[in-house]
Amino acid sequence: MTTNRNLVLNPVDGSYVLPAPPRGFDLLVMDGGESSPLLGAGAIASALGQRFQSQAQSLDLLLTEMRGQLERLDGAIAEASPAQLKGAVRDVVRVVDWCDALRLDLADESAKAVDGLQPIDLLALCEQQANALQGLVDPITVLPSQQVVYWGDRNRLTILIEKALELVWARTGGQGLRCIEIGSEAGVPSIRVCSHGEPTKAIDRDVVDAFREAVDYVAATVAPDELGPGGAGIMLRLPI
C-alpha cells in the first residue's frame, strides 16, 4: 500500500473536456445498488470504525498465531535440534513481519483519517449515483468493474461523479446510454464515464465549469477514455 497521500498525476491537457464522436462497443450491464444521501459525520465515523475494527481483528489473529508459535518453541527447546529451533524461530519472525506490515497499513490509514479522508467503495458509490440520477428514458449503467476501496472525501467524489455524468449527457445532447466503469492501474484508481450518444458541437459553459470545479475539489486529473480521441468518454484519475 502506498504511503504517499499527496501524489497527483499531471493533467494531460488543461483544456480537455471531451473527445470527438464515439465509436460503439458491446455493453455488459451490472445492476446498481440503492441510492443513499451524502454521508454525515456519524456515517463517516462508522465507516472508519469498521475499517479499524477489521484491522484490530487481523492483528488479534496474528498475535494469537505468534503466541502459539512461541509456546511450541518453548516446549521444543529441550529436545529439538538446532535446525528445528532455527526453523521455529523463522516461523515466529515471519509472524512478526506480518504484524509489522499490518502496523504500517494501520499507520497509513490512520494518517488519512486524520486528514479528513474515509474509505470509499467506488463501485458501490457509482451504483448509488447511477440509480439516483437515471430516469426511465435516460438510464445509467455501471459496467462490471474492479472492487476498489479508495480513501477520499465521499461528498466531493459524489459531486464529481454527478458532474461527469451531466457533462457527457450535455456533450451528446441528452441522448444515448451513459456508462460508468471503475478501474485501477499501477495503484491509481480511476472512474470512466462515457455515453453512447452522438456528440453535439457545443456544450453549455456552465456545465463545463461545474465539472472542472468538481475535478479541482477532488484534485483528480482528466484524460480521454480507452477509446481515445474518437470516443465520447472521460477517464477520471483520482489522487492517491
Tell me the per-residue pLDDT of 67-122, one tens digit each, with 9 for 90 and over.
Answer: 787 777 777 777 777 777 777 778 878 878 887 787 787 777 777 777 778 889 99
Q: How many domains does the chain have?
A: 2
Q: Bridge partners of 112?
A: none
Among 140, 166, 164, 168, CA closest to 214: 164
Decide: 140 and 179 in contact? Cβ < 8 Å: yes
Please report where in the chains the cell 483528480 appears, as a residue: 220
Measured distance CA(166)–CA(137) in Å, rounded = 15
Do residues 101 and 129 share a domain?
Answer: no
Domain of 208, CATH number, reads 3.30.565.10
Among 239, 3, 186, CA closest to 103: 3
Do residues 107 and 212 share a domain?
Answer: no
pLDDT of residue 142: 93
The model carries a pTM of: 0.63
Cβ within 8 Å of residue 18, ≥6 positions away: 167, 168, 171, 199, 203, 232, 233, 234
Whole domain around residue 83: which residue ranges? 43-114
Do residues 107 and 142 share a domain?
Answer: no
Do residues 209 and 123 share a domain?
Answer: yes
Domain of 68, CATH number, reads 1.10.287
Do residues 128 and 232 share a domain?
Answer: yes
Of the segments 14-23, 50-59, 92-101, which one has the largest average pLDDT value?
92-101
In this predicted structure, the answer to whether residue 199 has a pLDDT above a threshold of 60 is yes
Do residues 173 and 218 share a domain?
Answer: yes
More confident of the two residues 68 and 23: 68
pLDDT of residue 228: 52
Do residues 183 and 228 share a domain?
Answer: yes
